[in-house]
């Protein structure tokens, strides 16, 4: 047994030194200490716990990750902003990364939950975990990832806002746009982007990044060279989607919709909030709701593999919520 056990008062102190990795812990009973020591030794043997090559603070590691890793990702902008917030605000920012414990992360999590949603904390924990994993595997700055041993906040219920045809018509009304018309104002381009999202389930960032050289109307698809998950994908176009693109292309802008992602979101909210003063039904409509609505509609037309390919989902199981056919519906397809 590599671990040593010492009784100190009512507690047991357990120390492990194996393959250059040193760990220690205090437990109420020797049995608890043996269980912990066995797990730690297995992690050392499997390579999950490694020798630290160089001591770095969390601030050092976040800076390196921000400069070297984040720019290679599809969501680089959000990630860099979030890392800069970590550097400014985390109380443990000056601690050596190999000394940070799950208790430290738990305290940070609980403090964040006082000011932001559970979903936000989950996203931030995903980012922190990725930083620790990179520091452990690639840079050898720490031998474990403390985020992995911290309980995540329970997920918030997903939004279930349905954009019916009636709601979609109201959106077009507050954007002063008529289907098929040439765009004359910025808000008309927002309306075209909204209609295009409803047809394709593309994200706001994907729509606003679309450039003319990646539009293939004759073959009825657009190419997205880089998406949120880092992959490229081709998105098939319905007749309606192709017609919307044809209208947008007439203005000759590059990118096609002549909008930024931030501009699209902020202007959509601006016009929605004005309209919601007289129609409260619109108050809870977000541009991103188009994706859920579009996927729901596409699920009635496409099988799950084609749907996953079109919208860029890697986990097919996550799409099953959009397939709500009854046994009678399925039976009808069998004939």
Question: Is 288 noted as a catalytic residue in this protein?
Answer: no
Question: Is 323 noted as a catalytic residue in this protein?
Answer: yes
Domain extents in the chain = 4-46, 58-149, 165-332
- Sorting pLDDT into bands at 50, 70 and 90, what band is 39? confident
- Find the angle CA(83)-CA(84)-CA(88) to the nearest 5 degrees: 115
- Sorting pLDDT into bands at 50, 70 and 90, what band is 140? confident
- Residues 215-261: pLDDT tens digits? 999 999 999 997 776 678 999 999 999 999 999 999 999 999 999 99
Question: Is 53 noted as a catalytic residue in this protein?
Answer: no
Instruction: Name residue 216's beta-bridge partners.
Output: 221
Selecting among 228, 288, 297, 309, the annotated active-site residue is 228
Selecting among 99, 123, 313, 322, the annotated active-site residue is 313
Contact 271, 187 (CB under 8 A): yes
d(CA 290, CA 88): 35
Spell out the alpha helix ranges (H) of 90-219: 102-112, 118-137, 165-174, 186-200, 204-208
- Sorting pLDDT into bands at 50, 70 and 90, what band is 51? low
| 3-state SS assignment for residue 80 | helix
Q: Please report which helix (H) or strand (E) contains residue 233, including its range.
A: strand 233-236
Cross-sheet strand order for the sheet of 221-224 = 215-216, 221-224, 233-236
Q: Does domain 58-149 have CATH number 1.10.3470?
A: no
- pLDDT in the model for residue 160: 65
- Residues 155-191: pLDDT tens digits? 776 666 789 999 999 999 999 999 999 999 999 999 9
> Residue 275: which residues within 8 A CB-CB, separation 6 or more?
170, 173, 174, 282
Selecting among 112, 203, 233, 291, the annotated active-site residue is 203
Question: Is 226 noted as a catalytic residue in this protein?
Answer: no
Selecting among 6, 53, 159, 323, the annotated active-site residue is 323
pLDDT at 1 over 60: no
- CATH assignment of 165-332, given 1.10.443.10, 3.40.30.10, 3.40.50.620, 3.40.50.450? 1.10.443.10
């Amino acid at each position: 047994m590599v671990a040593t056990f010492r009784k100190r008062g009512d507690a047991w102190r357990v120390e492990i030194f194996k393959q250059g990795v040193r760990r220690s812990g205090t437990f109420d009973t020797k049995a608890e200490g043996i269980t912990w020591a066995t797990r730690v030794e297995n992690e050392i043997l499997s390579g999950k716990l490694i020798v630290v090559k160089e001591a770095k603070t969390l601030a050092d590691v976040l800076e390196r990750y921000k400069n070297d890793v984040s720019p290679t990702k599809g969501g680089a902008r959000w990630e860099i902003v979030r890392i800069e917030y970590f550097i400014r605000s985390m109380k443990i920012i000056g601690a050596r990364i190999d000394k940070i414990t799950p208790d430290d992360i738990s305290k940070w999590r609980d403090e964040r939950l006082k000011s932001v949603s559970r979903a936000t904390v989950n996203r931030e924990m995903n980012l922190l975990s990725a930083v620790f994993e990179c520091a452990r595997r690639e840079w050898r700055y720490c031998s474990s990832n403390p985020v992995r041993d911290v309980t995540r906040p329970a997920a918030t219920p997903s939004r279930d806002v349905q954009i019916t045809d009636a709601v979609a018509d109201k959106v077009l009304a507050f954007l002063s746009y008529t289907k098929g018309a040439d765009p004359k104002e910025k808000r008309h381009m927002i309306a075209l982007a909204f209609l295009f999202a409803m047809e394709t389930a593309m994200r706001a960032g994907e729509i606003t990044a679309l450039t003319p050289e990646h539009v293939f109307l004759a073959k009825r698809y657009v190419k997205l060279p880089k998406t949120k998950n880092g992959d490229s994908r081709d998105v098939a176009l319905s007749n309606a989607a192709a017609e919307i693109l044809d209208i947008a292309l007439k203005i000759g802008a590059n990118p096609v919709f002549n909008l930024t992602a931030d501009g699209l979101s902020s202007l959509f909210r601006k016009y929605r909030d004005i309209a919601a003063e007289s129609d409260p039904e619109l108050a809870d409509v977000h541009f991103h709701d188009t994706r859920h609505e579009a996927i729901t509609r596409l699920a009635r037309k496409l099988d799950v593999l084609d749907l996953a390919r079109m919208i860029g989902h890697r986990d097919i199981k996550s799409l099953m919520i959009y397939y709500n056919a009854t046994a009678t519906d399925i039976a009808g397809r069998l004939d």
